[in-house]
Amino acid sequence: MGDELPRLGAWVKLPAPESVELLALAGFDFAVIDTEHGAIDLRTMSTMIGLARGCGIAPFVRVAGTTPRDVQVPLDAGAAGLFVPQINSVAQAQDAVRAVRFPPLGRRGASTSGRAGQWGRAPLGDYLRAGNDDVRLIAQTENVTALSAIADIGAVAGVDAVFIGPMDLTVSGRFQEGSPEMTNLITAAEQSCADHHIPLGTAASADAAELLQRRGYDFLVLGADTTILRQGAHALVNSVRTATPGAGR
């Protein structure tokens, strides 16, 4: 469906549209407005989506679930795609597709009066085609069962890519971070996606280049606005904190 997935993104957790603008200026390809874990209301989310489009960065939304309230508002507001958490089986992936896609693939309600319909300007046929062909549905696989079935989940019609959620996988599997069991499970999932040509993403940090160049990932989420702010502030303070006042006098 559609073109290649944008490659480098970040979570947006702060309810501040300026976070989206700053990520665009930093050169990110997409932002994921996090309504699952972030305290972002619907009005702010819609503003972020519009601002992202104006700044040339793709606006994705991580939703809390697949109820009409979860998915309809961001889609009508013009989201480029949705990250749907806890898709741990083919049946759950199919349910997500039904929530996100227009008939005959799903049951999404239609209204061209929002940003996705160019505020009523878009012909109905173009609006429906874009919703089914251009809007991306990213299934987050976040437990052991999900990773074992990751290629089957990714092959569900209407799913565009799968995303390995390392933190939820660690918690749900009761793994130690970096444990051989967890590493082997992820490696097997990566290979399964490669064998079946399933686009794959994950959250990354220092290992981002390796994930793209050697391990076959198609897109990465490189932290969050909150993390970037904390790390930058910490580095700035530490660079000055070690200085001794008056030492050079």
Separation between Cα atoms, residue 8 and residue 201, nearest integer Å: 10
Q: How do beta strands 200-203 and 58-62 pair?
A: unpaired
Catalytic residue among 37, 196, 197, 234: 37
Query: Known catalytic residue: 234?
Result: no
Q: Tens of pLDDT along 82-103?
A: 999 999 999 999 999 999 999 9
Q: How many CB atoms lie within 10 A of CB 14?
A: 18
The pTM assigned to this predicted structure is 0.94
pLDDT in tens, 150-207: 999 999 999 999 999 988 898 988 888 778 999 999 999 999 999 999 999 999 987 8
